[in-house]
Structure formats: C-alpha cells, structure tokens
Structure 1
Amino acid sequence: MSTHPSEREPLLPERSPTVVHHEETQPNPAHSRVGPLDISRSTRYGILAGVWSASFLSALNQTLVPTMLPSISSEFKSFNQASWLGTSYLLATCTFTPLYGRLCNGMGRKNANHLALLFAGAGVLGCGLSNSMEMLILSRFLAGIGGGGLMTTSSIIVSDMYSMRSRGLTQGIASVFNGLGLGLGGPFGGIITDWLGWRWAFLIQVPFFIISFSLTSGFLHYVTPGKGKSTREILKRIDYGGSAMLFMTVGAVLVFLSARYNEGLPWSNITVVISLSVAAVCSVAFILVELFVSPEPVLAPFLLKKKIPVLVGASNFLVATCNFSIIYFFPMYFQTVLATSAATAGLHLVPNSVGLSLGSLFAGYMMHLTGRYKTINLIFGWFPFIGAVMIASLDKDSSTYMTWLSIMPLGFGNAVVLQTMLIALLVRLPESQMAIGTGFGQLFRGIGQVGGVAISSAVFQSRLDGALRQRIQGPNAEDIILKIRQSSNAVASLPADLQKIARESYAMSLKTVFVFSACSTLLAFLVRLPIPDKHLDHRPKSEVTEAEADIESLIEPGVPDDVGYLFEDVVEDEEVPDLDGKHPPRHRRRLSTYESAEDVLALELEIEEEEAEISQGQQTDSPTR
C-alpha cells in the first residue's frame, strides 16, 4: 500500500481537518510533501523559466501573423481567406481560456499546463507543416486552444509560489514577458519570413515548447492546498454549454463575414443564410444557458444588470476592435503600398508595443498618485482616436516621423483606457468578485479582438473588390482582379499601369479600415463618458465598502432572499439546509467560471466551512431542543 498522501489526505491534519492537498506528482516522496511556498529557489526559478517561456510564445503567436500574411496568402493563392489565420487563433483563445482554471483543479497544475503546451505546440508544428490554407487555419485554432491555457496556468502557478506581498512584483515581471511577446511578434514574423520563409517562423518555436515541457516536468512537483473533491465533481461544473454556444455564435458570425464580404457571395447564398441564422439562434441560446442552466456561467450575467459593467464591456469590445484592426493591417500598408520588406513592416509595430507598456505604467502610477481614474481617461482616451486618424492620413509622401510614430498614441491611449476601465469596474465590486469582474472585461476584450480582425477584413476585402472593379476593365478584368485579391505579392509582377492601380486600390482599402478603427475608438470614448469617477482609497479589507453595497443593490426589491445566493463567491451545486432545518433547501450557482488563483486553490472551501458550521450549530442546539 502506497505511503504517499492522496488528494483526500490532509497534509497538515493538525491545522485543519478539512484541508487536503492536490499533488502535482506522486512518484517521489521527497517532492510530494513540499508546498509551493516551501520549494527551493532553484526549483522555483526552473518552474518560472518553464511557464514564462511558454506564455511568451503564446503572446508572440497573437501578433506573429500580420507581417506574414502576404507571403502565406501568395503561396496558397487565398488572400481573401487570410483573416482566418488571426480570427481562428483568437476565437480559440477567447472560448477556451476560461476553462483552464477549472482544469487546474481537476487535473493538477502540471497536467493542465502540459495539456495547454500540447495543444499549442501541436498547433504551431502543424502551421509550419501545412500544405493548404485550410490546414493552416485549423492548426492556428489548435495553437489558440493551448495559447490561452498557457496564460491562465502560468498565472495560477506563479500565484501558488508567491505570497500576496511578493505576487504583484512577480506578476509584473510576467507581464513583461507577455508584452515582449506581443511586441516582438510582428518583427519576428517579418524577419524570419524574409530570411528563411514563413514556415520557419512557426517551426523555430517547437524546440522552445519542448524545453518548457521539460522544465515543468522536472521542477513542478509541489502540492497545493485544495479540497478532496474528485476530478469528475470539479470538471462537471465547467460551463460546456455556454462555451459551446459562445464558440458557435462567434464562429458563425465569422463564417458569415467571410462568405458575404471576403468571398463576395450574395445574400441569397446558402452559406450566408445558414451562418447568419446559426449566429442568431446560438446567441439567444448562449444567453439562456448563462442565465438559467450553467452552474458557473462564463458570462457572469448578473453584471449585465448594472450600467457600469455594461459600459465597460462595450468599451473593451470597441477598444479591442480598433487595436486589432490596426495591428493586423498596419504592416500590410508598408508591404503592399510602400513595397517594403516584411521585416521592415513588422518593425513599424514596435512603437505600438512601446506605447502600450508606457501607457500601462503611466495609468497605474497616476491612479496610485491621485486616487482617481476619470480625468486621465478623459484626457488620454482621445489618444487612440488621434493615432487612428494619423494612420488613416498616411500616404506615400508622409514623413518618416509619421510612418514610424503615428501608431504610438494608439498603443499609449488604449493602455490607459484598459487600465482605468478595469479599475472603474472593480472598484464597484467587493473583493470576492474581483476575479469575476476581471473575467467579465476579458471576455468582451476577447470577442473584440476576434471581431476586430474579422470585421476589418470584411471591410478591406469589400472595399478592395469595389476599387479594383471600378479601375480595371476589359475582357481579362475578372482574372486580374481575382489575382490581385488572392495574392498581394502578385502586385509586384504586374505591368506598371496595373501595378499602380493595384497599389492605389490597396491604399484606399486600408484607409477605409483605419477610418473604421478610428470610428470604433471614438464610439468607445463616447460610451465611457457616463461612467462616473470614484475615489480609490485604501480602506482595510474588514471594513464594509460601498462596493459591497453595490452588490447588494443587484438584488431587486421583492425578490426572495434565496436569490442572494446567486451573489456568493463560491457555492456548491447541491442543497444546503438552514441551521434550524425549517427552511427548504436552496439551489445555488457560482457567479462565473472565471476565478482568481486563490479561488482555484480553494474551490469549495467556503462550502465545507459552512457545512461544518451547520453541523456545529445543530450539535449546540440539540441539548436545548
């Protein structure tokens, strides 16, 4: 019989008989009883190297493709399908990221991280070996399933290993790796494409995924405090229905946009009709599942009853739409209109990343200094609009200063907006709902990222087709237009007169995309105007805050007290009677499947404590009854 502690056996039974531990590995007794705060420095650094290298690769893959689009689409002769290379990755990340917190409980930290590594590594390898656009798009989707999981599992593992006092600095360092990945994706993709070809931009990453897997396999052996719930009990609470409906809704919208605008199919086409119908039906089904069915909904629908969360969500959607529209089409301007190399086009995204980093630091410092967020949001919230307008005004005669720095206000302003809007939402929630509020904002950002690439691609292709048809006439016009739309690299091989027409048409189409981005960020600014300011003080956690009162106001007058259970932090999907046993059992649901690292560490702690109090209360009352 094994002497190793099981997941239901207390590690320190003398301290808490209800607390047991999830083991990240079983074989080595030397490892099995070490908690995350007690591991050696070398072990901790080995784990960090493993998870941060993987999260860096995940961030890199989000912005890797834009500078490679002309080369990829030219090889497969399908430029009008190229937007799927971005949307497939972002769609998978948006849909599957919320599930990994639950997988960390059900499978353990290491197994959940390895599952994400498997999807991400297999997807990246498949991208490098793809022999068709369809295979490349599918591989990007697989990479996205793992990419979002790497971010989530990395955050949870880091939170395991550091105390609250040290966690802020450590997560800040983790954000640097994330920012580097986002900033280097475009230049890396462009340089490798020019040097070795686009496939190697994917294949070069594979050894690093293997290194990350080896590091976490060798070092990630600590045990984490958790509850003795089986994997089945934990995994059954995942919002499979909501995730499936969200995936089908967004996916159907993408198919509709691609069929109607990228492919130019008529409204009566069966693909257009079916995709639009599926999107409508699944969107309604998603709302119903989130409101009435899922024990732990992805959406956190109770926040939709409040004005400020809805406005913050709308702002996040529009900001992400603007940001990713420009990120995916800005490099194309230099490659197709100005005829630069892919490497040079990618380097033009670096000022955006610098602006994002500076904007995040500036917003955090100013909110810490002043205790306010409204003023800096009003001032610097204009910057993305200014940046988008500057980008839309670019032409072949623009100065070097304009071509390189016009995107910087966009990144700086968007960073300030996202930071201040997160605080505007969280300051009105009690501390127990911080993770849910963060997840709520992330969900709308994720959908905005997918929508930004898909909608801007539809706008671009529709405008390009119209511009080409207006300028190119003759018996071979259809073939020439199709060639230009399917391969941007084919522009350079055209006769001088057609080449000029093609570049002008690309310039007009890209300008339309940038104007669309400017309108999105302007609308986001207007949406944020009704959000009030609030002083950010430093009251002790034990005090009753106004945020807690805000949550109480979510329960409408006249609604039975049972509904209050909808707003508890952690609940069990079972019936729990009152202490006196007189009230009927009540069924309770979690607010959302999004959870902080602390929630993952103690998924059912509050319920077990409540059950213990119930038992103790019954024993205390029994002599007097």
Structure 2
Amino acid sequence: MPGNTTHAAENTPLLASHKHESLPGPREISRATRYGVLAGIWTANFLQALNMTLVATLLPSISSQFNQSNQASWIGTSYLLATSTFTPLYGRLCDILGRRGANQSAILFTALGTLACGLSGNMEMLIVARFLAGIGGGGINTTATIVTSDLFSIKSRGLVQGIATFWSALGMGLGGPMGGFISDRFGWRWAFLIQLPFFVVAFVLTSINLRYATPGSHKRTIDVLKHIDYGGTLTLLGSVLSFLIFLSNRFNKGLEISDVTVAVPLALSAVFLILFLTFELRFAPAPMLAPALLKQKVPVCVGLSNLLVAQCNFAITYYFPMWFITCALTSASTAGLHLVPNSVATSTGSLFAGWVMHKTGHYKKLNLTFGAFPFLAAILLVRMTPESGVFTQWFSIIPLGFGNSIVLQTMIIALLANLPESDVAVGTGFGQLFRGLGQVSGVGSSSAIFQYYLDRELKSRITGSDADSIIDSIRHSATIVATLPPAIKDQATASHAIAIRAVFIMAATSTLLAYIIRLPIPDCNLDDLSRKRAEQPRNVAAAAPSAAAVEGALTSEHNQTESEGSTLSDADEATDQVPQASIDTHSQVPARPAPRRTRRLSGYESMGSSI
C-alpha cells in the first residue's frame, strides 16, 4: 500500500539502499559463488563442531600439566556454556552487521579463543579462552543456518542442510580421535593451534563470496538492538554458571554444603533462574524461552528429550576415552581412536534418518525403534571391563551415535510437523535452547558424579600415612595412574572404573527417560502434510523476511524440509534464481484477513513482524 511504502522509505537509509541495489540477491548469485559460500561456512561449521568434543581426549594431558585434573571439566563446560547462551544473539547481529559481518565476527571470536587456548599458561586462562571460543562457536552455526536459508528454496534446503549436518557430525566425531593423536605426538597445544589456518581459509572464502543483498536488512540498528534478549541471556548465563560452580566446589573440590563457596553459588543459581523465568514470561520483548510453547505437549516433550539426549551424548563422549586412559591404561591417541566408530555411526545415522523419512513419510516408528539403541549402548558400556573383548571395547558405542543421531533428526521433524507454520521459528529455537542446556549439564553433572565416586573409592582403598597426598595426586592427574606402583595402580584403576561406571549409569538413565518422554509425541504423514502446505494459498507478507526471521530455525538446522526429501536438481536451481522482486505478493491476499490473537514474539522469530 502507498502508506506503508512511504513509511518504509522514511525508515530506510538512502546510502544503505543504494549499496544493496548494486548487489545481486542471494538466489541470483552464480553457482560457483554459491559453492564458495558453502565451502566457507561449512569449513567454519566443521571446526566449531570439532571444538565441542576436541578436549575429551586432551583433558588428561592438560590437567596433568597444570596439576588440576579435578577442575578439568571446566575446559569443556566453559565452551558449551558460552555456545548455548550466546547463540540466540547472532540472528540479530545478522540484521545489524549483515550476513558476512556476523559470520566473520563469530569466526574471529572462535579463532582468537582457539589461539588463546594454545598459548594458555595455566588452567584459568585456558578456561577463559574456551569461553571466548564458545561465544563465536554458537554464532558460526547460527549464521551458517541463516545463510543456507538465504541461498536455497525450501524445496532444495533439505538436501543442503542434510549435507551440513553430515559435516557437523563428522567434526564432533573426529574431535576426540584427532585431539588424542595430536596430543600424543606433538603436545596438546597443537590440537588448538593447528586449526588456525583452516579458520583463515573459512574467513577468506566468506570474504570473497558472501556478498549479496538480503531483504529486510535495512532496519535501523536501534530497532534491532531493542529486540535482543539481553536480560534473558545474562540471567540464564548467571544461573547455569552459578550451578556449575556449585557442582565444582561441592563435588570436584569436596567441600561441605555448609561452606560459603558452595552454599552461595547454589543460592545464586536459584535466584538467577527465578529472574530468568520472570524476565522471559513478563518483560522480554523477544524472549528466547517461548512462553506459549510451555503449554503445548509436543514442544515440551521435544525440548526435554533434546536436553536428556544431549546430556547422555556428552557424558559418554567425555568419559569414554577417559575409561581407556585410566582403566585400560592406553595412550590418549588410542583412547581417541575408540571414538571413530561412534563418529561414523553418527554421520550414517543422520543420513539414514533423512532417507527413511523421505521414503516412508513417517518418523514415529523410526524413532521408537532406533531410539532404544542409546540405552543399549550405555548398558554395554556399564558392563565393560579391561578384560572385555576387542569387539566390546571398540563397537559397544556404535548404537549410541547411530541411535541418538536418528532421535535428534526425527525430533526436529516431529516438532515442525506438529506446529503450525507460524510457530515453526519459535518452536525450533525452543528445542535448540534445551539441547544446549543438555550439553552443558552433560559435562558438568558427569564431572560431579565422577569426582564424587572417585574420591570416595580412593579414600576407601588407599590407606596409610601418605594416603592423602597419593589420592590428591591421582585426582589431579589422570595420566599418573599408569606410573604408580602396581599395588596402588590396581586400586586407582578400580576406583576410576567405578566412578566412570557411575557416569555411564547416569547416561543410561537420561536416555531411558528421554525415550519415555517421547512416547506421547504423535506421528504424522509427512507426504500429506507437505501436500497440504503446498496447496495452501501462497500469501507472501508485504515485507520480506529479515535475518531474524531465518534465525527462527537457528541451530536446529531447518530440517523441516527433509520431510519433502527433495534433491537439488537443475530445475530447483532455476527456481532459486528467480528474482525475488518478481514474485506477486498481492494477487492472492484476501480482502478481509481473519483476525489473529496477538502474542509476544520469541527471540527466534521474525524481526520483520516486530518492527
């Protein structure tokens, strides 16, 4: 309408408008440029996923050098804490800095943090460096998802996102083996430093190719900044961080609950949690925790399942290599190699889930069948001993990666299939928030359980005048176990076996609870759903979606298109090349649209509808 056009023009900077007119649209760039963009964002995505699990086999070497094994879990939790907390902010930054600016800011944060990790002189500096890297890590995944949504139509996006998921899964799977291999041969610092040239490659590729105009990117910076959920981000960070400090002081350091350094963090965690919920439910202009979805069965079930599945995944990923180092007394590289079957299984499971859903049009039976696999794997790991056969030690973990990758893929589709399209953005962001919290709790809670049982078992098995110093040295250095006198070595390995078994039992409990929680989620015929949505009147909003609209999919990876199971053909690319300005946005708009109930937007939803 003329009035609306005038208002939009008044709020659009003239210089920015001329700048964007000189650039092609995201679906008008050449195929070579498009592939260059994908190569850049996927290289960074692979490195981000690699860093999530890289330290699993580095922990013994790092903690032994700094003599702080009981604090080693902070190396992993600090990265995951930053990733889960700062992820929602990057969609807004795509509106402020543009796609390239936001993506390269994330790459820069991660690269600087990785460099600082390699140069760290003590445990405290390393933990801070990992947090810095995590601030960028979440942004890499978010901006990659947004760029992928810019470049491809909804028909083509499923295949492209499936390939992106494969590289992410491969990065997470190779993190442990690569870290152990490099640590044994060159030292743990090189596991971080060797990544820097690849960050440079990703930065250069996006600098050259990630240059296109995007609709909705002309919004005033002040308007975008107003809709960033600062309060939610800070209170969530405060709550989770305080709880992790409580776990560390209570179980890793063995302090009493009455100690001020234990009681105060626990109280602060509760206070920050109350503030987070209050802010999200009452004051946040664009809350990351969508209040409306807390009343719906499917989003709540998917969110809780994501939390428990991630908790199981990361608990086993971090302590499975530790079992081989402290119980089977292998090297870090050998321990890391035992994660390779899990890496292959995870990548294969993701592709298998997409293929089956494409062929059958259903996800429920697939989820129920293979969703039990992680529980089977956890039970096999609980029963594993140094005397177990080669097959058991190498392949018991395969059902974990294969089953959990299928669960995560099917849960994304289940969520999207059971929500109206208007709620897809907030729903996927809701599920991703719980998944990030599960990753943090998986490492933090498993560390607390491990240290508690290790301390208890060592004190009951090792006695004598110098028992305290021996126990302290064992808890502070995992690699020292192999060098102990035979009698003490046996007691140390037995203590580690019991402590790690407790972690595996916790993981088994988590995945079993996740399976039970998923049972009420209904099935959908994806073929019928896709057909119905395709037949709906294609009323396009007057304003094109901005980056924050795409942010609704965030790191949950837009896998809703996998239900269509399409492949990227020349015809698809031809569709992608249609200039967006040529689409008639008014021919099918009803004269009197049905009124809709006004609701508060989530931080994952469209800025276009909120400004």
**Shared fold, TM over 0.5:** yes
Partner of 1:593: 603
Question: Which secondary structure state, in structure 1, belongs to the residue aligned with residue 522 of structure 2?
Answer: coil
Alpha-carbon distance between aligned partners in 2 of 1:374 and 1:449, rounded to the nearest angstrom: 24
Contact 2:342 2:401 in 1 (8 A): yes
Q: Encode CA deviations 1:198-228: one digit per residue, 9 max, x unaligned.
A: 0000011112212222222233222111153
Match of 2:58 among 64, 68, 74: 68
Give the stretch that moved more between structures: 291-300 or 228-237.
228-237
Q: Does 1:448 align with 2:438?
A: yes
Q: Encode CA deviations 1:108-140: one digit per residue, 9 max, x unaligned.
A: 111111211121011000100000100000000
Partner of 1:316: 306
RMSD: 2.7
Partner of 1:457: 447
Q: Does 1:171 align with 2:181?
A: no
Match of 2:199 among 209, 218, 222: 209
Match of 1:109 among 68, 87, 99: 99
Question: Which secondary structure state, in structure 2, belongs to the residue aligned with residue 443 of structure 1?
Answer: helix
Which amino acid is 2:479 matched to? N
Partner of 1:118: 108
Q: Encode CA deviations 1:120-171: one digit per residue, 9 max, x unaligned.
A: 0110001000001000000000000101101111121222222333322222
Partner of 2:296: 306
Q: Encode CA deviations 1:4-61: one digit per residue, 9 max, x unaligned.
A: xxxxxxxxx99x979979999998x9x9422222223333233222221111110110
Give the stretch that moved more between structures: 186-195 or 209-218.
209-218
Distance change >3 Å, CA 128–CA 122, structure 1 → 2: same
Alpha-carbon distance between aligned partners in 2 of 1:365 and 1:22, rounded to the nearest angstrom: 47
Spell out the pairing of 1:64-463 with structure 2 (5 A cutoff). Answer: 64-226=54-216, 228-463=218-453
Alpha-carbon distance between aligned partners in 1 of 2:121 and 2:27, rounded to the nearest angstrom: 47
Alpha-carbon distance between aligned partners in 2 of 1:44 and 1:377, rounded to the nearest angstrom: 34
Contact 2:17 2:218 in 1 (8 A): no
Spell out the pairing of 1:530-541 with structure 2 (5 A cutoff). Answer: 530-536=520-526, 537=528, 538-541=530-533
Give the stretch that moved more between structures: 163-172 or 261-270.
163-172
- The TM-score, its normalising length taken from structure 2, stands at 0.85
Alpha-carbon distance between aligned partners in 2 of 1:331 and 1:570, rounded to the nearest angstrom: 35
Contact 1:491 1:502 in 2 (8 A): yes
Distance change >3 Å, CA 297–CA 259, structure 1 → 2: same
Contact 1:460 1:509 in 2 (8 A): yes
Q: What is the deviation of 1:503?
A: 1.0
Distance change >3 Å, CA 24–CA 332, structure 1 → 2: farther
Which amino acid is 1:593 matched to? G
Which amino acid is 1:101 matched to? G
Distance change >3 Å, CA 150–CA 287, structure 1 → 2: same
Alpha-carbon distance between aligned partners in 2 of 1:23 and 1:122, rounded to the nearest angstrom: 33
Alpha-carbon distance between aligned partners in 1 of 2:400 and 2:327, rounded to the nearest angstrom: 21
Distance change >3 Å, CA 18–CA 433, structure 1 → 2: farther
Partner of 1:620: none
Alpha-carbon distance between aligned partners in 2 of 1:167 and 1:310, rounded to the nearest angstrom: 26
Alpha-carbon distance between aligned partners in 1 of 2:35 and 2:27, rounded to the nearest angstrom: 13
Question: Which secondary structure state, in structure 2, belongs to the residue aligned with residue 470 of structure 1?
Answer: helix
Question: Which secondary structure state, in structure 2, belongs to the residue aligned with residue 314 of structure 1?
Answer: helix
Question: Which secondary structure state, in structure 1, belongs to the residue aligned with residue 88 of structure 2?
Answer: helix
Alpha-carbon distance between aligned partners in 2 of 1:83 and 1:64, rounded to the nearest angstrom: 13
Which amino acid is 1:362 matched to? F
Q: Encode CA deviations 1:522-557: one digit per residue, 9 max, x unaligned.
A: 111222223233333233326679xxxxxxxxxxxx
Alpha-carbon distance between aligned partners in 1 of 2:396 and 2:10, rounded to the nearest angstrom: 58
Which amino acid is 2:236 matched to? L
Structure with larger RCO (C-alpha < 8 A, sep 6+): 2
- Equivalent pairs counted in the alignment come to 550
Alpha-carbon distance between aligned partners in 1 of 2:63 and 2:361, rounded to the nearest angstrom: 49
Q: Encode CA deviations 1:74-97: one digit per residue, 9 max, x unaligned.
A: 000000001111111001000001
Distance change >3 Å, CA 506–CA 44, structure 1 → 2: same
Which amino acid is 2:144 matched to? S
Alpha-carbon distance between aligned partners in 2 of 1:441 and 1:227, rounded to the nearest angstrom: 26
Partner of 1:518: 508
Which amino acid is 2:81 matched to? L
Match of 1:496 among 469, 486, 501: 486
Contact 2:377 2:397 in 1 (8 A): yes
Give the stretch that moved more between structures: 281-290 or 459-468.
281-290
Alpha-carbon distance between aligned partners in 2 of 1:501 and 1:107, rounded to the nearest angstrom: 57
Q: Encode CA deviations 1:428-462: one digit per residue, 9 max, x unaligned.
A: 21112212211111111110110011001100000
Partner of 2:540: none
Contact 1:318 1:521 in 2 (8 A): yes
What is the identity percentage for the equivalent residue pairs of Structure 1 and Structure 2? Answer: 56
Alpha-carbon distance between aligned partners in 2 of 1:26 and 1:336, rounded to the nearest angstrom: 63
Question: Which secondary structure state, in structure 2, belongs to the residue aligned with residue 108 of structure 1?
Answer: helix
Distance change >3 Å, CA 357–CA 207, structure 1 → 2: closer
Partner of 2:39: 49
Alpha-carbon distance between aligned partners in 2 of 1:26 and 1:480, rounded to the nearest angstrom: 71
Which amino acid is 1:424 matched to? A
Alpha-carbon distance between aligned partners in 1 of 2:13 and 2:368, rounded to the nearest angstrom: 48
Distance change >3 Å, CA 381–CA 290, structure 1 → 2: same
Q: Does 1:481 align with 2:491?
A: no
Which amino acid is 1:366 matched to? V
- The TM-score, its normalising length taken from structure 1, stands at 0.83
Which amino acid is 2:118 matched to? G
Spell out the pairing of 1:603-618 with structure 2 (5 A cutoff). Answer: 603-604=607-608, 606=609
Gaps of 5+ in 2: 538-548, 553-595
Which amino acid is 2:161 matched to? Q
Which amino acid is 1:175 matched to? T
Partner of 1:555: none
Question: Which secondary structure state, in structure 2, belongs to the residue aligned with residue 330 of structure 1?
Answer: helix
Alpha-carbon distance between aligned partners in 2 of 1:308 and 1:541, rounded to the nearest angstrom: 20
Partner of 2:578: none
Q: What is the deviation of 1:518?
A: 0.8
Give the stretch that moved more between structures: 487-496 or 370-379.
370-379
Contact 1:25 1:222 in 2 (8 A): no
Which amino acid is 2:514 matched to? A
Alpha-carbon distance between aligned partners in 2 of 1:244 and 1:193, rounded to the nearest angstrom: 35
Q: What is the deviation of 1:259?
A: 0.6
Distance change >3 Å, CA 89–CA 467, structure 1 → 2: same
Alpha-carbon distance between aligned partners in 2 of 1:89 and 1:321, rounded to the nearest angstrom: 15
